[in-house]
Structure 1
């Protein structure tokens, strides 16, 4: 039996449905058509007609989308093959219910049947299907498989190696009777990620990340290179951004390794677990170098174990590599938390033109206050007299009219053009109520760079910032604008936790003018002492300056949102705000921002009255962020070393961890 492709299997499944309907005396389904990866048919009963569409994906039968004309906005994503989908639809449409209206709680499969035409329209060749093949899907006798399609012995050995090393839950298999085709699902445990990282990366840490390899059942490593897919069952695929990065990494790995392993498989050498030493468990908390992260694990335990261990090495440090080219980022102050694209033009083009950032409206809808804040920070840096230093990074935005050119280029900075695009942005409130396509149309009419710039501001943020609900806020800070702020990479957090066990930790404020936070959100808190970024001297030595008292940090945050410019400049900007980019939540441009950091109380932490200095940036992690409008600073007498204040902070931290876990 020749090997059947996935497309051939789809066509076969379509024909199973068609032949079944032809065999029925009174079938209420007709107008069968298969084109452009969509199987369509119509149900007719009396005056009622319902059109159904079954849209198949590249990883069919997974991620098949079923919809109908009666409930066009209420589709269903399923993992069932087409005959099973059709059977469910048909079973819901019973003859005695055919004329009744669909109840409000009717499943998204909805009803279907048709009695008119026996003519079948399909882009592919129509095949006669016997009843035995139909029974494969409807509980009948299973079709015999030729010897050619028997499972390759090396595949069975590799599967057993995974079960022995990682447990039976670490791998599953789906075979397709009559086809030399198999889906190998490798389930990667990601529970090692801490709650904050999982939240930031959009991962469900209690659920494995599945890496699927679709390959030949009979030839296995001797066949063609598998197609790789990556997903978490509970997350819609187009919203699992991390999955795209893992998929690129694993497809490259499989492509490079499959040939070597294939030669072993061709020789008929079945490797057993007993022939190899037991591997050591990967230390997820250890910061790996570029070479370590990309090094290929020992392959003597079989290809599947090798693939799992490679994935286990790569996932904890995804933030350290470009999401497009997979080259290591070059960080001055160590990696940040959120994965992002590198600064090479080819990667920027790919990132912005391949639709990666098209979900900007979703971000605004769910985090409008955060978008507000990011825009305020960017504009503050842009109008500062220090913009050459602190409006960093400068936007990299592809020209909408010429996708091979950068309209905003860090190599040729044009601050006036960026300012013009900012001034053209609509009000955040308007954005939250407008669909992406309509918003794009409106913004392009005014300035075709305003939407790409907004997308860049959102996507280039490498910290995780989220508005705190009222019950998770620190009441003594006296502002409704309170945010969770996390910027440390998983490796830094792991090192931080180890240091906390040894030295303990405390909470201290860090104040800085809002214009500086555009860069801090993307590069982290840095030791600016004795560098061009230093503003206030280094009287107490080199390090990050912090304080247990709010009054001191409020002072360092600056008198106004644009403390470096004149009052007349600020008035002009306020006028612009009324005409252009209006802020829904932060109604003022005169903002103060301070962060509450957790700091390791190691011996090198220097205490000088209310000024504390830590020379090691690895031992300072942001936790909370507070914003004040119109120059209001809240209570200047807060001291984090006060027992009552400290207990309240710990209570919020503990409740936040608990809420994330549940």
Structure 2
């Protein structure tokens, strides 16, 4: 019986890979097998071997799954055909070899003998990879001289590893990969943005090599090799920014640009980390002194540090009374909100719950507490902007028409987050829709509107002295604020102190920042010691501000109780929640100390680091003093271990 067209195409694509490997005597790839819906092969280097598995679907090449034995949990879902998948894997391994950075890319490391004969790759036809020049035999398409000049300019100005070029034999198309160093991002920002600091961001341009700078503008892709595209935090926003930039600049061949492209390159410019979005200085197009490709890299370097200060959809600067926050987000424009929630930009609830269910549990609890407060018109800020699932042209929850009771109802109709982790998404969605069609979209908003970074601390990274299993890493400062903090820390040094605030206030704090509330509508406890952020080295003082010891019913958790809780409790069980934050404080002359009550008038000198939750009337040890040597050392150990884990 004749095979169906789908099977024929798959078999043909498999044969392309196998035949090309045999023709080029590519011995590192072996053991090619295709059976049913799976194509497998091995990559060997010395005694090490990695097996790759490509699982195809009924709608091949769409929904093709790629995995390898070296990182079984990292599964790539792609629409590329098998030759292109193989092409990318081999190119990543060669790139690994060229850089001498074993394990940086998804593939295994390449050979170390520098054999350029293995640089032939595959697309749906033949494909060749060039890191430099290739002699022309008369039949191949000549590379555009301006492209040659631009490539060389990148190597001269940014380094030999800052660019690569792939040419497809017999085709005019080329693939240019620009590698942008992001090691300048601080650890907190990289963690919150889902970026690997040790690995460059790849900006990929697909264009014509004979019509370079004259033909159609390239298609742009942005990714980090070691991360799935849908898990790369900056992917959508930076891809859109770079596509607009490339399209606008592609054919703008000013006399200055043309001359510079073919002339000797000038010295690279240093970009300034501190851009002011009010003047859109991050959007200023760099001069084309080193050619178009250098210009593109410098524009990306210019935009990346301040992505959080611009809307992820329209790329207009945010207008925040208290300054930008840590995580990128959408602006308040209705068109942007619709696009953000309906076009797949927003993180999926299933992904977030799968990786951080306890954080979702905490976010929902904070929202409930804010809504239950008699100050909800002040502290339930921002109010949700949620697209109606039954009518995508309107908002079901609209800040212009606040319906607090309706929001409360939808939150109350949510199943327990713990239950959601144990139920398939489709089943849970159907179940939730039967009860309240707005519950799931509202949960999505609660998750995505959080502009701080929160992660549950593993048991071995927790501060035992806090006597609660509910301990979280909490980072909310923008890159600009962290930079200000870092400079001040180098000058004055820093220490740690507690900040106490009722749980109802944290829905707003996570989205608007820890601000000076003195003499504003947010003030609750007065400002007897002046205006500023109130902190204390003593837990008992900050506990009182958070309400833990306000009614005399709370009791400190014993060590035995704390150990039992840590071993057995993962999710919050109570609505009676109290909390306290541990902050890092700059020890500048501006820090006013009134006994054990400290006041920091400059909010930029206070950065949240950890967050602790207590429930059912329990409280932590009231005798904790962050300035005691033993306690201070324990805090530093946790901070240091977190930084080491981030660098790993």
Q: Which TM-score tier does this pair reach, normalised by the shorter chain?
A: 0.7 to 0.9
SS at match of 1:595: strand
CA distance in 2, matches of 1:187, 1:649: 37
**1:135: how far off?**
9.3
Partner of 1:322: 311
Q: Deviations over 1:505-527 (max 9, x none)?
A: 11111000000000001011000
Alignment of 1:345-364 (within 5 A): 345-357=334-346, 359-364=348-353
Contact 2:277–2:309 at 8 Å: present in 1 too?
no
* Structure 1 partner of 2:261: 271
CA spacing shift, 1:652–1:362, aligned 2, 3 Å: same
Instruction: Mark the CA change 1:183 to 1:280 in structure 2 (over 3 Å): closer, same or farther.
Output: same
- 1:51–1:282 CA distance, 2 compared to 1 (3 A): closer
- Correspondence list, 1:302-321, <5 A: 302-321=291-310
* Residues 1:135 and 1:464: Cα distance change in structure 2 (over 3 Å): closer
Q: Which residue of 2 aligns with 1:396?
A: 385
Do the aligned partners of 1:427 and 1:584 also contact (CA within 8 Å) in 2? no
Q: Distance in 2 between matches of 1:503 and 1:637?
A: 27
Does the C-alpha gap of structure 1 residues 391 and 78 become closer, same or farther in structure 2, counting only changes over 3 Å? closer
CA distance in 1, matches of 2:405, 2:125: 69
Structure 1 position 41, deviation (Å): 10
Distance 1:368 1:204 in 2: 23
What is the alpha-carbon root mean square deviation over aligned residues? 3.5
CA change 1:260–1:447 in 2 (3 A) is same
1:413–1:468: structure 2 CA closer, same or farther, 3 Å change rule?
same
**Rounded Cα–Cα distance in structure 1 between residues aligned with 2:36 and 2:232:** 33
Query: Take 1:378 and 1:19, find their aligned partners in 2: how far apart are those partners?
Result: 53
Asked if 2 retains the 8 angstrom alpha-carbon contact of 1:361 and 1:435, the reply is: no
1:599 counterpart residue number: 585
Tell me by how many angstroms 1:358 deviates: 5.6
| Residue 635 (str. 1) matches residue 635 (str. 2) | no
SS of residue matched to 1:241: coil
**Equivalent residue runs for 1:487-498 within 5 Å:** 487-498=476-487
Secondary structure of 1:193 counterpart: coil
Helix, strand or coil: the match of 2:613? strand
Aligned with residue 640 of structure 2, among 640, 654, 659: 654
Q: Distance in 2 between matches of 1:501 and 1:407?
A: 48
Deviations 1:323-382 (A, max 9, x none): 111111111111111111111111110011112336211211221111111111100000
User: Is the alpha carbon distance of 1:338 and 1:558 closer, same or farther for their aligned partners in structure 2, counting shifts above 3 Å?
Assistant: same
The answer on 1:259 being equivalent to 2:251 is: yes
Aligned to 2:294, the other structure's residue is in SS state helix
Aligned with 2:12 (options 1, 11, 17)? 17
Query: 2:225 maps to which residue?
Result: 233
- From the superposition, tell whether residues 628 and 355 of structure 1 become closer, same or farther in structure 2 (CA, over 3 Å): same
Match of 1:194 among 160, 176, 186: 186
1:585 matched to 2:571? The reply is: yes
Aligned residue among 392, 405, 414 for 2:394: 405
Q: TM-score, normalised by structure 1?
A: 0.77
User: Conserved in 1, the CA contact under 8 Å of 2:60 and 2:79?
Assistant: no
Question: Could you say what secondary structure the match of 1:403 adopts?
Answer: strand
Cα pair distance change 1:467/1:446, threshold 3 Å: same
1:214 lines up with 2:206 in the alignment:
yes
- Partners of 1:279 and 1:84 in 2: CA distance: 34
TM-score of the two chains, using structure 2 as the length reference: 0.79
Q: Given that residues 61 and 79 in structure 2 are in contact (C-alpha distance below 8 angstroms), is that contact kept between their aligned partners in structure 1?
A: no
Q: Distance in 2 between matches of 1:51 and 1:351?
A: 30
Query: Which structure is larger by alpha-carbon Rg, 1 or 2?
Result: 1
Task: Give the deviation of 1:272 after TM superposition.
Answer: 3.8
For structure 1, the 5+ residue unaligned runs are 1-10, 25-39, 45-49, 58-62, 68-72, 88-132, 564-582
- Partners of 2:142 and 2:247 in 1: CA distance: 24
Q: Distance in 2 between matches of 1:207 and 1:237?
A: 14
Question: What secondary structure sits across from 1:639 in the alignment?
Answer: coil
1:42, CA displacement in angstroms?
6.5
Q: Which residue among 426, 451, 455 is the counterpart of 1:462? A: 451
